Structure 1
Amino acid sequence: MSKLKQEAELVREAIRVGGLYMQKRGAGEFEATDSASEKTRALYRLLVKDQLIQPLAKDQENERNMKHKLALWIERQLPAGHPLKA
């Protein structure tokens, strides 16, 4: 997997938007004390469960790859011309 140009910023945006998605779906919400790692794992699993992203292979399921998947997901959701869109 090649790293995206602004992957860190895309992951932050994915966690922000994903948190709103979780609330609207009724799947819970992120707490202020949740680490970025916990948020990444929870959001990744929710999006896989809802079939919005394809799951990683079991041996590839690590935080770095999950963040990459979230970055790809949010990049597709952004409108054309958005500063984070490549």
Structure 2
Amino acid sequence: MKKHKHEAELVKEALKIGAIYFEKRGAGKFEATDSASNKITAVYRLLVKDGLIQALAKDQENELNMRHKLALWIERQLPDGHPLKGK
């Protein structure tokens, strides 16, 4: 997968929005002590379960690829003209 120019910032935004979605969905609540890795996995799996993103192949399911999927997901959610929107 080709890394996006602003992938780190997009992942940070995806985790912020994903945590809100996670809580509103009733899946739980993230604590300040939860690692970024755990948050990435939890948000990714919930989005896959809800059909909002396509699942990775089992042999491709790792943190790096999950981060990329979350970056792509949040980029599609951003309004036109947003600084992180890569057009």
Smaller-chain TM-score bracket: over 0.9
Q: Distance in 1 between matches of 2:39 and 2:49?
A: 15
TM-score (normalizing by structure 2):
0.97
Q: Distance in 1 between matches of 2:19 and 2:73?
A: 14
* Matches for 1:20-59 after TM superposition, within 5 Å: 20-59=20-59
% of aligned pairs identical? 74
Q: Is 1:82–2:66 an aligned residue pair?
A: no
Q: Is 1:19–2:19 an aligned residue pair?
A: yes
TM-score (normalizing by structure 1):
0.98
Tell me how many residue pairs correspond in the alignment: 86
Task: For structure 2, list consecutive stretches of 5 or more residues without a partner in the other structure.
Answer: none
**In the TM superposition, what is the alpha-carbon distance from 1:24 to its structure 2 partner?**
1.1
What is the RMSD of the two structures over their aligned residues, measured on CA atoms? 0.5
**In the TM superposition, what is the alpha-carbon distance from 1:25 to its structure 2 partner?**
1.1
